[in-house]
Amino acid sequence: MQMKYSNFIIILSIASLLSKVSYAQIWTGTDEIKLDSHIKLVMPNKVNPACRVAGRSEEIDCSPATTLSLIYKGITYSYDNLIEPWEGSFFIYFVKLGSNSYSRDLNGDGLKEIAIYPAVCGNSPKSLAYIYTIKDHELLPYGTGDYFWETGIPVANVKKDTRFRPDI
């Protein structure tokens, strides 16, 4: 009888470990997209390193600091204004528009679109990703789409609306 319980505990422990490993990271956000040799987008999320020290978070501002830049032919263009509504409150990422891609030509005009997502982790089953068209060194509003952070599934139900306003 002792052997059966030991085997059961071992199997239960292995199953528990495997489930944690398989669900460790299912979101697919990234902070950098390289479209080609001339265009790259970067959006690093930074937190004061002192926040990682136990007990220090009450003493200092541990809000994420994020910048958004488009690098076109070696020149950096700032687009911090596009992420300003979420700055200091959410981590912000580029998310997939296709099964294997962070950029995609959604309307067949030859220009790529990218999606930006303020990570509202666990607060909602879905929330909006904000989609922009890349034209040379410009990021132009395209529309919105549904994104489910915890699943890693690409943006869905894209709605073209160049007049969208980011939600907070």
Higher pLDDT, 7 or 99: 99
Return the structure tokens found at 146.
């549904």
Helix (H, G, I), strand (E, B) or coil at 64: coil
For residue 28, give the amino acid letter: T
Residue 34 lies in a domain: yes
Cβ–Cβ < 8 Å for 105, 126: no
Look over the chain and give the mean of its residue pLDDT values, rounded to a whole number: 81
Residue 19 lies in a domain: no
Residue 13 lies in a domain: no
Give the residue numbers spanning the domain of 84: 26-160
How far apart, in whole angstroms, are the C-alpha atoms of residue 66 and residue 51? 16
Residue written as token pair 């790259």: 40
Return the structure tokens found at 87.
């700055």
Segment 49-63, tens digit of pLDDT? 777 676 655 667 777
Residue 152 lies in a domain: yes
Segment 91-147, tens digit of pLDDT? 899 999 988 899 999 999 999 999 999 886 655 567 889 999 999 999 999 999 998
pLDDT exceeds 80 at position 167 = no
Residue 7 lies in a domain: no
> Residue 36: which of 77, 73, 75, 91 has the closest Cα?
73
Q: What's the pLDDT at 6? A: 62
Q: What's the pLDDT at 48? A: 76
- In the chain, the N- to C-terminal Cα span, in Å, equals 58
Q: What's the pLDDT at 2? A: 55
Domain count, the chain: 1
